[in-house]
Amino acid sequence: MKHTASIGGIKTELILPSVLYLIPATILTVLYPEIFIIRIIPRFGLLLLGGIFLLIGIPFLIRAAYEVVTQFESGELITDGLFAFVRNPIYAAWILFIIPGLALLSRSWIFLGTPIITYLAFKISIRKEEEYLEKHFGQPYLDYKAKTNALLPRFRKKT
Protein backbone atom coordinates (compact mmCIF):
# COMPACT_ATOMS: atom_id res chain seq x y z
CA MET A 1 0.00 0.00 0.00
CA LYS A 2 1.31 3.41 -0.93
CA HIS A 3 2.14 5.43 2.18
CA THR A 4 0.65 8.90 2.37
CA ALA A 5 2.05 11.86 4.24
CA SER A 6 0.95 12.31 7.82
CA ILE A 7 1.19 14.83 10.60
CA GLY A 8 1.13 13.36 14.09
CA GLY A 9 0.07 10.02 12.65
CA ILE A 10 -2.99 11.41 10.91
CA LYS A 11 -3.13 11.47 7.11
CA THR A 12 -2.93 14.86 5.44
CA GLU A 13 -6.10 14.00 3.51
CA LEU A 14 -7.91 14.08 6.86
CA ILE A 15 -6.20 17.27 7.95
CA LEU A 16 -6.99 19.33 4.84
CA PRO A 17 -10.80 19.38 5.25
CA SER A 18 -10.35 20.25 8.93
CA VAL A 19 -7.98 23.11 8.13
CA LEU A 20 -10.31 24.39 5.43
CA TYR A 21 -13.07 24.42 8.05
CA LEU A 22 -10.88 26.00 10.73
CA ILE A 23 -9.75 28.96 8.61
CA PRO A 24 -13.21 30.57 8.29
CA ALA A 25 -14.14 29.37 11.81
CA THR A 26 -11.13 31.20 13.23
CA ILE A 27 -11.83 34.34 11.21
CA LEU A 28 -15.46 34.36 12.35
CA THR A 29 -14.51 33.80 15.99
CA VAL A 30 -11.95 36.63 15.90
CA LEU A 31 -14.28 39.05 14.10
CA TYR A 32 -17.43 38.18 16.04
CA PRO A 33 -16.45 36.80 19.46
CA GLU A 34 -19.76 37.91 20.94
CA ILE A 35 -21.49 35.42 18.62
CA PHE A 36 -19.07 32.50 18.66
CA ILE A 37 -17.56 32.38 22.16
CA ILE A 38 -19.33 29.83 24.38
CA ARG A 39 -20.83 31.66 27.34
CA ILE A 40 -23.38 29.13 28.62
CA ILE A 41 -20.59 27.09 30.25
CA PRO A 42 -18.15 28.96 32.51
CA ARG A 43 -14.68 29.49 31.06
CA PHE A 44 -13.12 27.36 33.79
CA GLY A 45 -15.46 24.47 32.93
CA LEU A 46 -14.50 24.59 29.25
CA LEU A 47 -10.80 24.76 30.08
CA LEU A 48 -11.11 21.90 32.57
CA LEU A 49 -13.08 19.71 30.16
CA GLY A 50 -10.70 20.52 27.28
CA GLY A 51 -7.75 19.69 29.52
CA ILE A 52 -9.29 16.36 30.51
CA PHE A 53 -9.82 15.45 26.85
CA LEU A 54 -6.17 16.27 26.13
CA LEU A 55 -4.93 14.37 29.20
CA ILE A 56 -6.69 11.29 27.83
CA GLY A 57 -5.96 11.86 24.14
CA ILE A 58 -2.25 12.68 24.18
CA PRO A 59 -1.12 9.54 26.07
CA PHE A 60 -3.55 7.50 23.94
CA LEU A 61 -1.92 8.95 20.79
CA ILE A 62 1.61 8.34 22.08
CA ARG A 63 0.80 4.75 23.03
CA ALA A 64 -0.90 4.07 19.67
CA ALA A 65 2.02 5.58 17.74
CA TYR A 66 4.47 3.50 19.80
CA GLU A 67 2.53 0.32 19.02
CA VAL A 68 2.54 1.10 15.30
CA VAL A 69 6.23 1.99 15.20
CA THR A 70 7.31 -1.09 17.15
CA GLN A 71 5.07 -3.60 15.35
CA PHE A 72 4.59 -2.29 11.81
CA GLU A 73 7.83 -3.68 10.37
CA SER A 74 6.86 -7.24 11.32
CA GLY A 75 4.23 -7.19 8.59
CA GLU A 76 1.80 -8.87 10.98
CA LEU A 77 -1.76 -7.73 11.59
CA ILE A 78 -1.68 -5.70 14.81
CA THR A 79 -4.58 -6.77 17.04
CA ASP A 80 -3.18 -6.38 20.54
CA GLY A 81 -2.59 -3.39 22.81
CA LEU A 82 -4.88 -0.50 21.89
CA PHE A 83 -5.64 -2.26 18.61
CA ALA A 84 -7.55 -4.88 20.63
CA PHE A 85 -10.12 -2.16 21.43
CA VAL A 86 -10.15 -0.02 18.28
CA ARG A 87 -8.85 -0.60 14.74
CA ASN A 88 -7.59 2.97 14.29
CA PRO A 89 -6.31 4.18 17.68
CA ILE A 90 -4.28 7.08 16.25
CA TYR A 91 -7.33 8.48 14.47
CA ALA A 92 -9.45 7.76 17.55
CA ALA A 93 -7.06 9.78 19.72
CA TRP A 94 -7.28 12.76 17.37
CA ILE A 95 -10.99 12.64 16.52
CA LEU A 96 -12.40 11.65 19.93
CA PHE A 97 -10.03 13.42 22.30
CA ILE A 98 -7.39 15.81 20.97
CA ILE A 99 -9.41 17.83 18.45
CA PRO A 100 -12.45 18.13 20.77
CA GLY A 101 -10.11 19.06 23.64
CA LEU A 102 -8.53 21.83 21.59
CA ALA A 103 -11.97 22.97 20.43
CA LEU A 104 -13.12 23.27 24.05
CA LEU A 105 -9.97 25.19 24.97
CA SER A 106 -10.73 27.65 22.15
CA ARG A 107 -14.10 28.38 23.81
CA SER A 108 -15.64 28.87 20.34
CA TRP A 109 -18.70 26.74 19.62
CA ILE A 110 -17.98 26.83 15.88
CA PHE A 111 -14.71 24.95 16.52
CA LEU A 112 -16.74 22.04 17.91
CA GLY A 113 -17.58 21.19 14.29
CA THR A 114 -13.94 20.32 13.59
CA PRO A 115 -14.07 16.75 14.97
CA ILE A 116 -17.19 16.14 12.87
CA ILE A 117 -15.44 17.34 9.71
CA THR A 118 -12.39 15.21 10.54
CA TYR A 119 -14.62 12.18 11.23
CA LEU A 120 -16.37 12.56 7.86
CA ALA A 121 -12.99 12.79 6.10
CA PHE A 122 -11.88 9.69 8.05
CA LYS A 123 -14.95 7.72 6.92
CA ILE A 124 -14.15 8.52 3.29
CA SER A 125 -10.39 7.96 3.39
CA ILE A 126 -10.35 4.81 5.54
CA ARG A 127 -12.07 2.79 2.82
CA LYS A 128 -8.86 2.47 0.77
CA GLU A 129 -6.85 1.40 3.79
CA GLU A 130 -9.43 -1.21 4.79
CA GLU A 131 -9.62 -2.59 1.24
CA TYR A 132 -5.85 -3.02 1.30
CA LEU A 133 -5.93 -4.74 4.70
CA GLU A 134 -8.72 -7.08 3.57
CA LYS A 135 -6.71 -8.10 0.50
CA HIS A 136 -3.41 -8.37 2.38
CA PHE A 137 -4.57 -10.21 5.53
CA GLY A 138 -7.77 -11.88 4.29
CA GLN A 139 -10.02 -13.66 6.79
CA PRO A 140 -7.98 -12.75 9.90
CA TYR A 141 -8.56 -9.07 9.13
CA LEU A 142 -12.25 -9.65 8.38
CA ASP A 143 -12.63 -11.43 11.74
CA TYR A 144 -10.79 -8.61 13.52
CA LYS A 145 -12.90 -6.01 11.71
CA ALA A 146 -16.12 -7.80 12.72
CA LYS A 147 -15.29 -7.64 16.44
CA THR A 148 -13.40 -4.33 16.68
CA ASN A 149 -14.85 -0.88 15.96
CA ALA A 150 -13.03 1.41 13.56
CA LEU A 151 -12.97 4.47 15.82
CA LEU A 152 -14.99 4.11 19.01
CA PRO A 153 -13.17 1.76 21.39
CA ARG A 154 -15.13 -1.38 22.22
CA PHE A 155 -14.23 -2.92 25.54
CA ARG A 156 -15.09 -6.59 25.58
CA LYS A 157 -14.43 -9.66 27.63
CA LYS A 158 -11.40 -11.70 26.64
CA THR A 159 -12.33 -15.00 25.05
42-68 residue pLDDT tens: 999 999 999 999 999 999 999 999 999
Q: What residues does each domain of the chain span? A: 10-147
CB of 112 closer than 8 Å to CB of 46: no
Query: Rounded to two decimals, what is the model's pTM?
Result: 0.85
Residue 58 burial by Cβ neighbours in a 10 Å radius (0-12, 13-18, 19+): middle
- The residues with which 37 forms a beta bridge, in sequence order, are 108
Q: Which run of H or of E encompasses 10?
A: strand 10-11
Report residue 158's pLDDT band, with 50, 70 and 90 as the boundaries: low
Task: Tell me the average pLDDT across 22-49.
Answer: 95
